[in-house]
């Protein structure tokens, strides 16, 4: 058989040689020549230019979302032709999602910004002229230097997306050396981060994770589990094992959401629920568990605070979780608010307890779907009730990340003075004392010039004009700032309002140092070198910042020991090597061996020289610590009481420290249950459906927005592979659709495919009707992620920006903006 | 002689569509745009198909990744007037693009609708052609294309095995979709070998075939959701 195949190949090659040979020589359709033909041509002609180029697989880190997957890139000569998972990387073990695969279209996007540009004409007019890097850096460096010399270093602000590893360290260092407190990072709310609800109840600042792989039961409260979780690959791998691993029991998934999503479709049971009421349902389930005394008494006694009513050290008594649940969430009320029948709430509660270890998961999404802090607390309280904290198949808190700092330096007095100024976004003070960043306040503060005006704004990895609930206000805020600099690699909505664009290279073109966690709580550090040379005249933003520091000269420039990311990556790895913990990524067998050795007392200590360590880590893609100790309670429960707090002492301190108007504002929206002090209520999981489902004759429908999974987390959406499959479940792509229940459509008088105006009290957008039986009657679903005003041929003007018609609310504690569901109506229109 | 086949475990599958994109990247499938999509002419060798059943609130949605079934008795080859689509001795149903006259009989004959006609000249904007896979020939307009189980990978794997003087191993050859599957829900191998993973899984009581009653004998086997 083998001979047959070879003969066939040979004939194919011969027949191809003459026809294609000539065409190839004249440079016609070179990509029509397949590998074997090209090889044969090279042999026949002995022409060195026709020989196949060198081919290799290089390790790198995917940055299409924040998942932190390790990748291998097939590099053919000087071009990247395929991306696959790195089999040694503990996050994804050789697997990769659609977005990861699509990285090639991000790299070779023809609409990328191809070099530095300066604005011509008015802001936002879209007229640009190319400038050289030298000129751009010199001009901006001079401005920065002048501002600093005027003693106004604090008037520089930098707005970034979520950053980790090297990118984070360099931005931090740049702002520190320059002397500004205003590094405003749009931090993510994901479990692997400082999530407010978990911070209030468990304290664990390194974030928590769900042990999906070994759990028996998942009670998913609109969690976007299979659609919008980081890393989606890691989650999928764990999900596969949850369903069909080597356990005795096949894991069961129950999904609660207003619409039949992919997670709902894959679940064993889909429970439709009135939009926004998931937290109330969680409290209903809690009431069944409490009344039937099915909770974990041992855990509640030993490791929780505020389950029963309790008395503080001053002798004041406070209501507990139990009192709140019994008093405020009787089953009838919960059934009425959520639309979930009483019997079903009871059976969900019993099943959840019966199938332990199981987990209750809510939504930690960025701006859409996030249930708000009190609803998240209510859902997380279920985990406390069944005591699945720090258990296999339960909730694990992430182990501490090792230090990977830049080499130390000492800031000068100018820097110290600038850094002592209050932050422009107010983070870390009064109402925002619990958060490190409050980007949502930026527009307002810039417009008010409070506490001082901003002179220069640097924007990197963030596109607030698209995501803002008030884009116009943000644009006028940007227009107040004399100099706005964007590092974006694509012409996104925010970059349009910049004065100077210094385009960033994308991840495949630069050195990277990245940190993340496995779903088992193991910390890891990934390392990557560029796999291809920059496609266009772009530079790594870290190197741009260092170059700017260089233009300013000493003392700012001395903050960086080298101008190259490569040197900084290597320098940052020294402390990791010296810590002698963990190891370079390896096959799963090696991981088992390390665990065995360490757990039996033979701690593996790395004694290899640094060069060997560096080579290993680079070749395999990174370092991690495969050993996890679940009994480290002081890290898992690092609340003021050292316990799982149903009654959050952190929240109590937060409210108690507030004064005057700030306190009133913070407590304003919190309902006060009968006979309960408002301050007490504000420290408990007071789940609240928010906007109630009123009888509104003008807006007769409920609008439920959701994130398009395939576009979630992307830096830019100008990727036709992904755009083409965005709405596969309703056979719709390349335009915004609205999912309507067939009965509801009948009532309104619209049919599948009809164009409609979707109108909320805030505004209206055009969408195409898709009849979908997985939509609840009178609830319409709208996909979020389309409707970009700029950014490239496969994203500009594709669909509508749904955010325009959604109401937004600022969350207590964090000030984060959450887009809410809204009332809406549909009216027929023309295409 | 190997009989290449695939098993897709729907209980593990998360419908993430990684397979869909991996396939397009590997096989130089022409990229789509709004007009092409609207005309129903986007090409997906592997596509995620939704089946919505029953009525609210008991509605069920099934999501099936659908590559070519590589039927043992393929209807497409019977209607081809020029022998452009054929089944190999190892069971891979291939398309010889150079021989195809674009009559589209096969696209009609295939009950799984896995055959795609190139209505337009495939074009990549300047610079984007750099990511094209050097192992796979780009098709031209007027011909039909389809999933090949990434058979160029089989050729490479076989060459390598021969060069290293060894037999082709069970993991040497897998298509791009199977390689990337995040949930590890896709399996690929020799259905002719009773000890292979795919053979064992195909005997599962959860196993089913698409439109089995047509007598096409698909070599893509699904495992249903649930216990």
Q: What is the CA radius of gyration of chain B?
A: 18
What CA–CA distance (Å, rounded) separates A759 from A421?
Answer: 44
* Strand pairing category for A117-120 and A127-130: antiparallel
Task: With beta carbons less than 8 A apart as the criterion, state whether A59 and A530 touch.
Answer: no
Q: Mutating which of A243, A538, A718 best tests the B interface, going by the most B Cβ atoms within 10 A?
A: A243
Closest to A818 in 3D by CA, of A448, A334, A276? A276
Closest to A555 in 3D by CA, of A134, A149, A133, A135? A149
Residues A703-719 have a mean pLDDT of 90
Chain A: residue nearest B35 by CA? Answer: A734
pLDDT at position A23, please? 38
CA distance readout (Å), A452 to A98, A445, A636 = 45, 9, 40
Residue A285 CA to its chain's centroid (Å): 29
CA distance readout (Å), A655 to A163, A305, A791 = 30, 18, 43
Angle, CA A596 vertex, CA A591 and CA A602 arms, to 5°: 115
Q: Give the contacts of B36 (CB within 8 A, at least 6 positions apart).
A: B42, B119, B120
N residues, chain B: 227
Residue B34 to residue A735, Cβ atoms within 8 A: yes
What CA–CA distance (Å, rounded) separates A13 from A34?
Answer: 10
When pLDDT is cut at 50, 70 and 90, the band that residue A18 belongs to is very low
Question: Among A114-118, A333-337, A605-609, A743-747, where is mean pLDDT lowest?
Answer: A605-609
pLDDT tens by residue, A547-595: 999 999 989 999 999 999 999 999 999 999 988 888 899 877 776 776 6
Whether omega before A231 lies within 30 degrees of 0, making that bond cis, reads yes
* Strand pairing category for B116-117 and B144-145: antiparallel
The alpha-helical segments, DSSP class H, found in A457-602 are 464-467, 471-480, 541-552, 565-579, 588-599
B190 close to A (CB below 8 A): no
Residue A773 to residue B56, Cβ atoms within 8 A: yes
Full strand arrangement of the beta sheet holding B4-9: B186-190, B4-9, B220-223, B207-208
Q: What is the CA radius of gyration of chain A?
A: 28
What CA–CA distance (Å, rounded) separates A634 from B12?
Answer: 36
Q: Give the contacts of A164 (CB within 8 A, at least 6 positions apart).
A: A66, A68, A514, A515, A516
Q: Which residues, numbered 78 to 107 in chain B, qualify as contacts with chain A under a Cβ-Cβ cut-off of 8 Å?
A: 89-90
Q: Is the pLDDT of residue A358 over 90?
A: yes
Question: Among A270-274, A751-755, A818-822, where is mean pLDDT lowest?
Answer: A818-822
What CA–CA distance (Å, rounded) separates A486 from B95?
Answer: 48
A821 compared with A800, residue with greater pLDDT: A800
Residues A7-32 have a mean pLDDT of 42
Residue A110 to residue B128, Cβ atoms within 8 A: yes
DSSP single-letter state for residue A711: G
Q: Is the pLDDT of residue A32 over 50?
A: no
Q: What is the DSSP string of A116-178?
A: -EEEESSTTS-EEEE--HHHHHHHHHHHHHHHHHTT-GGGEEEEE-S--HHHHHHHHHHHHHH
Cβ-nearest to B182 among A76, A83, A232: A232
B60 close to A (CB below 8 A): yes
Question: Complex ipTM, two decimals?
Answer: 0.96
What CA–CA distance (Å, rounded) separates B162 from A5?
Answer: 12
pLDDT at position A36, please? 54
What CA–CA distance (Å, rounded) separates A464 from A486?
Answer: 12
Neighbours of A9 (CB within 10 A): 16
Please, what's the b/e burial string for A122-150 (b: 16 or more CB within 10 A of its CB; e: otherwise)? eeeeeebeebeeeebbebbbebbbebbee
Q: What is the mean pLDDT of chain A?
A: 88
In angstroms, the separation between the Cα of residue B30 and the nearest Cα of chain A is: 10
Q: Give the contacts of A316 (CB within 8 A, at least 6 positions apart).
A: none
Q: Is the pLDDT of residue A30 over 70?
A: no
Task: With beta carbons less than 8 A apart as the criterion, state whether B2 and B90 touch.
Answer: yes
Share of chain A above pLDDT 90, in %: 68
| B-chain residues near A713 (CB < 8 A) | none
pLDDT at position A28, please? 40
In angstroms, the separation between the Cα of residue B165 and the nearest Cα of chain A is: 13
pTM over 0.95? The answer is no
Residue B61 to residue A94, Cβ atoms within 8 A: no
Chain A: residue nearest B10 by CA? Answer: A266
Task: With beta carbons less than 8 A apart as the criterion, state whether A197 and A376 touch.
Answer: yes
Domains along the sequence of chain B with CATH: 4-223 (3.30.70.20)
Please, what's the b/e burial string for A13-48 (b: 16 or more CB within 10 A of its CB; e: otherwise)? beebbeebbeebeeeeeebbbbbbbbebbeeeeeee
Q: What is the DSSP string of A263-309?
A: HHHHSSEEE---TT-HHHHHHHHHHHHHHTT-S-HHHHHHHEESSS-
Burial class (CB in 10 A: 0-12, 13-18, 19+), A668: exposed
pLDDT tens by residue, A298-317: 999 999 999 999 999 999 99
Angle, CA A68 vertex, CA A65 and CA A73 arms, to 5°: 90
* Strand pairing category for A512-517 and A523-528: antiparallel
Q: Give the contacts of B188 (CB within 8 A, at least 6 positions apart).
A: B4, B5, B6, B7, B149, B173, B174, B175, B178, B198
pLDDT at position A789, please? 94
A586 compared with A218, residue with greater pLDDT: A218
Residue B182 to residue A95, Cβ atoms within 8 A: yes
Residues B158-179 have a mean pLDDT of 93
| B-chain residues near A724 (CB < 8 A) | 31-32, 37, 42, 44
Q: Mutating which of A266, A588, A746, A788 best tests the B interface, going by the most B Cβ atoms within 10 A?
A: A266
Residue B152 to residue A35, Cβ atoms within 8 A: yes
Q: Is the pLDDT of residue A693 over 60?
A: no
Task: With beta carbons less than 8 A apart as the criterion, state whether A813 and A196 touch.
Answer: yes
DSSP single-letter state for residue A203: B
When pLDDT is cut at 50, 70 and 90, the band that residue A366 belongs to is low
pLDDT at position A368, please? 72
Residues A211-219 have a mean pLDDT of 95
Angle, CA A467 vertex, CA A380 and CA A431 arms, to 5°: 55
Please state whether B211 falls in left (phi above 0), alpha (psi between -120 and 50) or beta. left
pLDDT at position B120, please? 93
Residue B12 to residue A243, Cβ atoms within 8 A: yes
Full strand arrangement of the beta sheet holding A512-517: A512-517, A523-528, A622-624, A583-584
Cβ-nearest to B20 among A29, A98, A232: A98
pLDDT tens by residue, A378-420: 999 999 999 999 999 999 999 988 889 999 999 999 999 999 9
pLDDT at position A4, please? 45
Helices (H) and strands (E) in chain A, counts: 29, 32
pLDDT at position B183, please? 95
DSSP single-letter state for residue A778: T
Closest to A736 in 3D by CA, of A787, A805, A775, A702? A787
pLDDT at position A689, please? 77
Residue B89 to residue A1, Cβ atoms within 8 A: yes
Q: What is the DSSP string of A715-738?
A: S----HHHHTTTBGGGTB-SS-EE
Q: Rounded to 10 degrees, what is the CA torsion of B164, B166, B171, B176? A: 50
Angle, CA B205 vertex, CA B201 and CA B207 arms, to 5°: 60
The enclosing H or E element of B145 equals: strand B144-145
The two most distant CA atoms of chain A are separated, in Å, by 95
Angle, CA A294 vertex, CA A288 and CA A299 arms, to 5°: 125
Q: Mutating which of B18, B44, B48 best tests the A interface, going by the most A Cβ atoms within 10 A?
A: B18
Phi, psi of B134 (to 5 degrees): -65, -15
The enclosing H or E element of A528 equals: strand A523-528
Cβ-nearest to B32 among A81, A94, A720: A720
């Amino acid at each position: 058989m083998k001979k047959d195949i070879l003969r066939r190949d040979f004939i194919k090659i011969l027949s191809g040689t003459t026809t294609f040979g000539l065409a190839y020589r004249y440079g016609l359709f070179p990509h029509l020549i397949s590998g074997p033909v090209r090889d044969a041509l090279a042999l026949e002609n002995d022409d060195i230019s026709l020989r196949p180029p060198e081919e290799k697989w290089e390790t790198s880190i995917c940055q299409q979302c924040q998942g932190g997957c390790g990748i291998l890139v097939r590099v053919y000569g000087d071009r990247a032709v395929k991306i696959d998972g790195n089999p040694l990387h503990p996050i994804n073990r050789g697997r990769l999602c659609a977005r990861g695969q699509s990285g090639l279209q991000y790299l070779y996007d023809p609409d990328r910004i191809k070099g530095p540009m300066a604005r011509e004409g008015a802001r936002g007019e879209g007229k640009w002229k190319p400038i050289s890097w030298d000129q751009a850096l010199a001009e901006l460096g001079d401005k920065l230097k002048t501002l600093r010399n005027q003693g106004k270093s604090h008037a520089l602000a930098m707005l970034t997306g979520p950053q980790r590893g090297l990118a984070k360290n360099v931005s931090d260092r740049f702002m520190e050396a320059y002397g500004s407190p205003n590094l405003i990072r749009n931090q993510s709310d994901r479990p692997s981060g400082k999530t407010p609800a978990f911070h209030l109840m468990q304290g664990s600042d390194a974030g928590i994770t769900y042990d999906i792989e070994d759990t028996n039961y998942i009670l998913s409260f609109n969690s976007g589990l299979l659609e919008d979780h980081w890393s989606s690959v890691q989650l999928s791998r764990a999900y596969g094992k949850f369903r069909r691993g080597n356990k005795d029991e096949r894991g069961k998934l129950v999904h609660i959401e207003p619409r039949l999503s992919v997670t709902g479709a894959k679940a064993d049971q889909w429970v439709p629920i009135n939009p926004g009421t998931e937290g109330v349902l969680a409290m209903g389930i809690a009431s069944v568990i409490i009344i039937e005394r099915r909770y974990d008494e041992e855990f509640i006694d030993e490791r929780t605070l505020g389950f029963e009513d309790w008395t503080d050290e001053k002798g004041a008594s406070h209501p507990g979780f139990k009192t709140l649940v019994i008093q405020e969430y009787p089953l009838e009320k919960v059934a009425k608010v959520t639309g979930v029948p009483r019997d079903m709430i009871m059976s969900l509660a019993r099943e959840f307890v019966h199938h332990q270890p199981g987990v209750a998961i809510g939504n930690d999404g960025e701006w859409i779907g996030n249930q708000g802090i009190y609803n998240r607390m209510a859902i997380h309280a279920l985990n406390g009730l069944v005591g699945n904290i720090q258990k296999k198949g339960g909730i694990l808190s992430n182990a501490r990340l090792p230090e990977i700092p830049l080499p130390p330096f000492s800031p000068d007095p100018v820097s110290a003075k600038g850094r002592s100024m209050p932050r422009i976004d107010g983070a870390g003070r009064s109402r925002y004392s619990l958060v490190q960043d409050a980007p949502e306040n930026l527009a307002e503060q810039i417009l008010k010039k409070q506490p001082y005006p901003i002179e220069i704004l640097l924007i990197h990895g963030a596109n607030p004009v698209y995501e803002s609930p008030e884009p116009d206000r943000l644009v006028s805020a940007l227009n107040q700032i004399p100099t706005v600099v964007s590092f974006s690699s694509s012409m996104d909505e925010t970059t349009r309002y910049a004065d100077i664009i210094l385009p960033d290279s994308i991840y495949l073109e630069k050195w990277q140092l990245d940190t993340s966690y496995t779903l088992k709580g193991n910390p890891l550090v990934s390392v990557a070198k560029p796999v291809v040379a920059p496609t266009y005249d772009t530079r790594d933003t870290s190197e741009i910042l260092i170059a700017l520091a260089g233009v300013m000269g000493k003392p700012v420039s001395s903050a960086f020991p080298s101008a190259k990311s490569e040197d900084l990556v290597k320098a940052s790895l020294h402390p990791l090597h010296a810590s002698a913990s963990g190891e370079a990524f390896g096959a799963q067998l090696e991981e088992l061996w390390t665990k065995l050795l360490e757990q039996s007392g033979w701690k593996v200590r790395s004694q290899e020289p640094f060069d060997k360590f560096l080579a290993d880590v680079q070749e395999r893609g990174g370092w991690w610590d495969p050993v996890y100790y679940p009994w480290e309670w002081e890290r898992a429960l690092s609340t003021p009481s050292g316990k799982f707090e149903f009654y959050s002492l952190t929240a109590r301190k937060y409210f108690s420290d507030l004064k005057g108007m700030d306190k009133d504002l913070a407590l304003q929206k919190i309902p006060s249950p009968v006979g309960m002090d408002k301050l007490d209520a504000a420290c408990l999981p007071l789940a609240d459906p928010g906007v109630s489902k009123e009888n509104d004759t003008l807006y007769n429908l409920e609008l439920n927005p959701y994130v398009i999974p395939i576009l979630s987390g992307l830096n830019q959406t100008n990727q036709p592979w992904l755009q083409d499959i965005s709405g596969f479940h309703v056979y719709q792509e390349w335009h915004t659709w609205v999912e309507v229940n067939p009965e509801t459509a009948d009532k309104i008088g619209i049919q599948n495919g009809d164009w409609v105006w979707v109108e909320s009290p805030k505004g209206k957008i055009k969408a195409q009707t898709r009849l979908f039986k997985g939509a609840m009657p009178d609830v319409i679903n709208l996909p979020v992620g389309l409707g970009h005003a700029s950014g490239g041929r496969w994203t500009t003007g594709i669909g509508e920006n749904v955010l325009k018609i959604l109401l937004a609310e600022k969350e207590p504690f964090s000030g984060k903006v959450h887009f809410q569901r809204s009332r809406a109506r549909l009216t027929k229109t023309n295409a | 002689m190997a009989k290449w086949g695939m098993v897709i475990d729907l209980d593990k599958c998360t419908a993430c569509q990684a397979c869909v994109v991996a396939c397009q990247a590997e096989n130089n499938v022409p990229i789509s745009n709004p007009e092409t999509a609207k005309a129903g002419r986007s090409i997906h060798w592997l596509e995620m198909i939704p089946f919505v059943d029953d009525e609210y609130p008991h509605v069920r949605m099934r999501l099936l990744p659908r590559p070519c079934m590589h039927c043992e008795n393929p209807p497409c080859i019977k209607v081809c007037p020029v022998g452009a689509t054929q089944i190999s001795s190892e069971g891979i149903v291939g398309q010889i693009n150079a021989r195809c006259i674009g009559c589209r009989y096969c696209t009609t004959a295939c009950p799984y609708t896995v055959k795609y006609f190139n209505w337009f000249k495939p074009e990549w904007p300047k610079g984007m052609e750099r990511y094209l896979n050097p192992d796979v020939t780009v098709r031209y307009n007027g011909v039909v294309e389809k999933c090949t189980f990434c058979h160029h990978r089989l050729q490479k794997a076989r060459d390598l095995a021969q060069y290293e003087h060894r037999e082709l191993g069970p993991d040497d050859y897998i298509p791009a979709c199977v390689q990337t599957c995040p949930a590890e829900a896709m399996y690929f191998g020799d259905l002719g070998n009773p000890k292979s993973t795919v053979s064992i899984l195909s005997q599962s009581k959860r196993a089913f075939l698409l439109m089995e009653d047509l007598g096409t004998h698909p070599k893509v086997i699904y495992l249903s959701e649930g216990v």
